[in-house]
Amino acid sequence: MLQILTAAISLGLLWAIVTIGVYITYRILTIADLTVEGSIVMGAAIAAISITRGINPYVAIILAFFGGLGAGLITGLLHTKLKIPSLLSGILTMIALYSINLRIMGRANISLLQVDTAYTVFEEMGLRSTVSVILLGLIIVAGIVGVLYWFFGTEIGCAIRATGNNPQMVRAQGINTNTTIILGLMISNGLVATAGALIAQSQRFADVQMGIGSIVIGLASVIIGEVLFGRRGFASRLVSLVLGAIVYRVIIAMVLKLGMPANDLKLFTAITVAIALSLPVFRSYLKPLKKSIKWGK
């Protein structure tokens, strides 16, 4: 059981970066961005091909981040400059990234079994692979949370946050909302690609299909974090996203331990997200019922 929990925590920390990226578009910009399913693979592809060609694993992660920035830029330009709806813009970029990722890797998957990864430094200290992932994951996630907390407190960061809440007010202040939307999409996909690079090195391979369902996993983690740990200040929200991703992975590990077939995980996740998103509707139905029970007493 301890091994299952540590494995779930290690994977949850890496997926927490995806969760933060999804949060930026879904909650801050109020955009459903499907680019995520392509940019996470792009991050893995760039990291894998870079490492196999002798580039330092940490440099490979940085290159993956810039690749994700490019993916977000394309989606942002399609949406803001060509006036294509945000959902369709993300779908178009996601489809294009499938071919681009194949071009980057040269084949459908790349093995990283025989090369050093970002976790090798910790493994050489005598730590187990799972503990190495947890340690590096904690360092990177803490750094990302700290940088984002600082950034979204700056003038540009506040403009991005305000764009999702009230774009008319932002434009009235003389701020170009197209620029803030593009920046938000770039940051989001840059983080997702970074997560892809870390996940690929953790599982020791990159595959062109590994991004399928990643947007749903990110949404599930966002919702779990908000429901369990609340929506107070911005710093606490960022921490709740990390905890939500870890809790989601622990739930998945427990469900698998209880005997659920692995093939049903996507269905389980989709149902979980659908129920969580429908909670306000269920509550609206329950309010009249509660009032009638109260008056009946």
Within a domain: 248: no
Q: Is 207 helix (H, G, I), strand (E, B) or coil?
A: strand
Parts of the chain with a pLDDT under 50: none
Rama region for 54: left / alpha / beta (φ>0; ψ in -120 to 50; rest): left
Q: Quote the pLDDT of residue 260.
A: 82
Q: Quote the pLDDT of residue 261.
A: 84
Q: Quote the pLDDT of residue 155.
A: 92
Domain count of the fold of the chain: 1
How many angstroms separate the CA atoms of 121 and 58, rounded?
A: 11
Q: Quote the pLDDT of residue 157.
A: 93
Q: Quote the pLDDT of residue 263.
A: 83
Within a domain: 256: no
Q: Quote the pLDDT of residue 34.
A: 93
Within a domain: 257: no
Within a domain: 226: no
Q: For residue 108, what are its two tokens?
A: 């459908």
Within a domain: 76: yes
Strands (E), the chain: 109-111, 205-207
Within a domain: 290: no
Q: Quote the pLDDT of residue 294.
A: 56
Within a domain: 263: no
Gap between the terminal Cα atoms of the chain: 48
Within a domain: 287: no
pLDDT in tens, 225-274: 888 887 778 889 999 999 999 998 988 888 888 888 878 887 887 887 78
Range of the domain at 183: 13-211
